[in-house]
Amino acid sequence: MVVGDFAEEVDTLIIGSGPGGYVAAIRAAQLGQKVTIVEKGDIGGVCLNVGCIPSKALIQAGHKFHEAKSGGDDMGITAEKVNVDFSKVQEWKAGIVNKLTGGVQGLLKANNVNIVQGEAYFSDENSVKVSTDEYNSQTYKFKNCIVATGSRPVELPNFKYSSRVINSTGALQLDDIPEKLVVIGGGYIGVELAGAYANLGAEVTVLEGEKRILGGFEKQMAQLVQRRLKKKGVKFETQAFAQSVEESDNGVNIKAEVKGKEKSFDADYVLVSVGRKPNTDELGLEQIGVEIGDNGLIKTDKQCRTGNKSIYAIGDIIEGPQLAHKASYEGKIAAEAISGESSEIDYLGIPMVVFAEPELASVGYTESEAKEAGYDVVGAKFPFQANGRALSLNDSEGFMKLVTRKEDGLVIGAQIAGPNASDMIAEAGLAIEAGMTAEDLAMTIHAHPTLGEITMETAEVALGTPVHIAK
């Protein structure tokens, strides 16, 4: 029997509770809106449940195991027997996820956000029908709606997902560490998981279609990662195109064309990591004036507003890099725009990070991008090898590069390859957002000995007054 559906009215309806959706919900509630958030899966979306958080936990576990096994040889620290109980690793990882997703639910409730579990479909320009199960649904009439439905892994036609052909979600949920793993795709997700499983003892091969891995980063940065992973036994095949896979009870055999020649690879699993597809289908968006491109991305203005003025879209389903922190930023912009504020998106200060070895981070312009944009710039570089803290960490491979405008020293970009690059990039991002110069960074007193000093030292190189490397 179908329960009667009487429309419930809300100020702002949000579809999706990932880092874009839940942040938008909290910000909208702070601004006085009556908010309902709809989630068909787990609160926290891909990032908290099967993406950013569990992958970084697995990466950290890999680091710990590898360091315990061999990381202290140079210091005279060795261990005769080091084991990994992967079931406990997975249990620990799940505990982190549960703590964070529970925290998000608590924050939503504390801000009086109504949480609805179900699948949403637009019934008209100001209404959404949410199916809670096979028989029941509830209609919500909204003044404004923020669509934050995220993305899902792309599936290759000849590599249908199964127990042996896995995507990033499957790679994070394996019961055992594979002896052999083939990764199709040398982007940030593929490289991160390749490194994690290599550290845990797997024999990993990466197949990348382009001439090099990590195409979104400068060549020298990608080379550092590839060199480090090769030392850990990871094999790289570039200009490699996976053609087919044969599965058995014990593993897979992958056929690929590598630089024009056919090669075969055996493994326990093959991880397909060739990008993500926006979740914009099956929502009924086209029928309510929301324009969707051929790539599945929703077209929006600088306030994340779609062609339907009461509907906004954020995160992986609009143009730009598919990053959790980008989605959160856009969520705040959309919530504020709905509340009548003049907030607009400005992507220059959004960092990109890869939790590889070494970590990579970039914000603003690269030197080549700045020149292409017409800027006359200085590209100043400082090596981690000249930093005392990096040496004491026994992790001194890498560099920081600062891109400044030659005429006035304005900071317009930065790239970091090295330990803790993911944390260090924030200072450069702040410098860009605040309109700071190389002199501002150089004159800021940084604690010693820290990796943060590298930012100050790189700024001094930009000014032509380096202290700890020869001019």
pLDDT, tens digit (0-9, with 9 covering 90-100), for 434-471: 999 999 999 999 999 999 999 999 999 999 999 999 98
Q: Are 187 and 210 in contact (CB under 8 A)?
A: no
Q: What would the two tokens of residue 129 be?
A: 């029908």
Spell out the residues 6+ positions from residue 184 whose beta carbon is closer than 8 angstroms to its own: 156, 159, 190, 207, 242, 254, 270, 271, 272, 273, 274
Could you tell me where the beta strands, DSSP code E, fall in 345-440? Answer: 352-354, 360-364, 377-383, 399-405, 411-417
- Annotated binding-site residue? 151: yes
**CATH topology (fold) of 358-463:** Enolase-like; domain 1 (3.30.390)
Identify the pLDDT of residue 181.
98
- Annotated binding-site residue? 189: yes
Catalytic entry in 66, 325, 448, 468: 448
- Annotated binding-site residue? 188: yes
Of residues 109, 105, 95, 121, the one with CA closest to residue 17: 105
- Is residue 448 part of the annotated active site? The answer reads yes
- Tokens 């992790």 correspond to 395
**CATH topology (fold) of 165-274:** FAD/NAD(P)-binding domain (3.50.50)
Statement: the pTM of the whole predicted model exceeds 0.85:
yes
- Indicate where the chain has its CATH 3.50.50.60 domain(s): 8-51+90-152+277-347, 165-274
Query: pLDDT of 19-34, one tens digit each?
Result: 999 999 999 999 999 9
Q: Are 279 and 208 in contact (CB under 8 A)?
A: no
- Annotated binding-site residue? 95: no
Q: What's CA 119's distance to the chain center, in Å?
A: 25
Distance (Å, rounded) from C-alpha 415 to C-alpha 434?
18
Q: What would the two tokens of residue 326 be?
A: 């980008």
Q: What would the two tokens of residue 320 be?
A: 């730009």
Which spans in 290-366 are helix H? 324-338
How does DSSP classify residue 286?
Answer: G
Helix (H, G, I), strand (E, B) or coil at 226: helix
**CATH topology (fold) of 8-51+90-152+277-347:** FAD/NAD(P)-binding domain (3.50.50)
Distance (Å, rounded) from C-alpha 444 to C-alpha 154?
45
Antiparallel, parallel or unpaired: β 399-405 and 377-383: antiparallel
- Indicate where the chain has its CATH 3.30.390.30 domain(s): 358-463
- Annotated binding-site residue? 102: no
Spell out the residues 6+ positions from residue 224 whose beta carbon is closer than 8 angstroms to its own: 358, 360, 397, 398, 417
- Annotated binding-site residue? 397: no
Tell me the pLDDT of the chain (471 aa) as tens digits: 345 568 999 999 999 999 999 999 999 999 999 999 999 999 999 999 999 999 999 999 999 999 998 867 788 888 888 999 999 999 999 999 999 999 999 999 999 999 999 999 999 999 999 998 878 999 999 999 999 999 999 999 999 999 999 999 999 999 999 999 999 999 999 999 999 999 999 999 999 999 999 999 999 999 999 999 999 999 999 999 999 999 999 999 999 999 999 999 999 999 999 999 999 999 999 999 999 999 999 999 999 999 999 999 999 999 999 999 999 999 999 999 999 999 999 999 999 999 999 999 999 999 999 999 999 999 999 999 999 999 999 999 999 999 999 999 999 999 999 999 999 999 999 999 999 999 999 999 999 999 999 999 999 999 999 999 998
- Annotated binding-site residue? 74: no
- Annotated binding-site residue? 208: yes
Could you tell me where the beta strands, DSSP code E, fall in 314-383? Answer: 352-354, 360-364, 377-383
- Annotated binding-site residue? 35: no
Q: Centre a 10 Å sphere on the Cβ of residue 35 and count the other Cβ atoms it contains.
A: 28
